[in-house]
Amino acid sequence: MPLTDTAIRNAKPRSEPFKISDGGGLHLLVQPNGSRLWRLAYRFASKQKTLSLGSYPTVSLAKARDVRESAKRLLADGIDPSAQKRRDKLAARAAGDATFKALALEYLDNRRHTLTPLYADQLLRRLEADVFPYLGTRPITEIDAPELLDVLRRIEKRGVLEQARRLRQSIGQVFRYAMITGRAKHDPSTALKGALKPKGRQKHHTPMPRDELPGFLRGLDAYDGDPRTALALRLIVLTMVRTTELRAARWEEFEHLDGREPLWRIPAERMKARFEHLVPLSNQAVAALAELRALPGAKTNGFLFPSPSREGCMSNNTMLFALYRMGWHGRATVHGFRGVSSTILNEMGFPPDWIERQLAHDERDDVRGAYNSAQYLPGRRQMLQRWADWLAEVKASGKVIVLAREAAA
Asked if 361 is an active-site residue, the reply is yes
Residue 307 to residue 285: CA distance in whole angstroms: 22
The C-alpha atoms of residue 308 and residue 292 are separated, in whole angstroms, by 15
**Marked catalytic residue, from 93, 361, 364, 399:** 361
Query: Does the annotation mark 157 as catalytic?
Result: no
Find the catalytic residue in 85, 112, 186, 272.
272
Q: Is 119 part of the annotated catalytic residue set?
A: no
What one-character-per-residue DSSP string does 361-380 give?
A: ----BTTTBS--TTTTHHHH
Q: Kindly provide the residue ranges of all beta strands, DSSP E only, lying in 133-231, ordered along the sequence.
A: none
Using a 10 angstrom Cβ sphere, with 0-12 exposed, 13-18 middle and 19 or more buried, the burial of residue 155 is buried
242 is annotated as an active-site residue: yes
Which strand (E) or helix (H) includes residue 154? helix 145-156
110 SS3 class: helix
Instruction: Given the residues 85, 325, 331, 335, select the one marked as catalytic.
Output: 335
Which candidate in 168, 242, 270, 357 is catalytic? 242
Catalytic residue among 371, 386, 395, 405: 371
CA dihedral (195, 197, 198, 199) in degrees, to 10, reads -140
Active site residue 335: yes
Residue 111, classified by CB atoms within 10 Å of its CB into exposed (0-12), middle (13-18) or buried (19+), is: middle
Asked if omega into 57 is within 30° of 0 (cis), the reply is yes
> How many residues make up the chain in this entry?
409
Q: What are the beta bridge partners of residue 266?
A: 277
Residue type, 302: G
Among candidate residues 338, 357, 380, 381, the one labeled active-site is 338
Which is nearest to 119 in space by CA: 232, 273, 335? 273
Residue positions annotated with a catalytic role: 242, 272, 335, 338, 361, 371
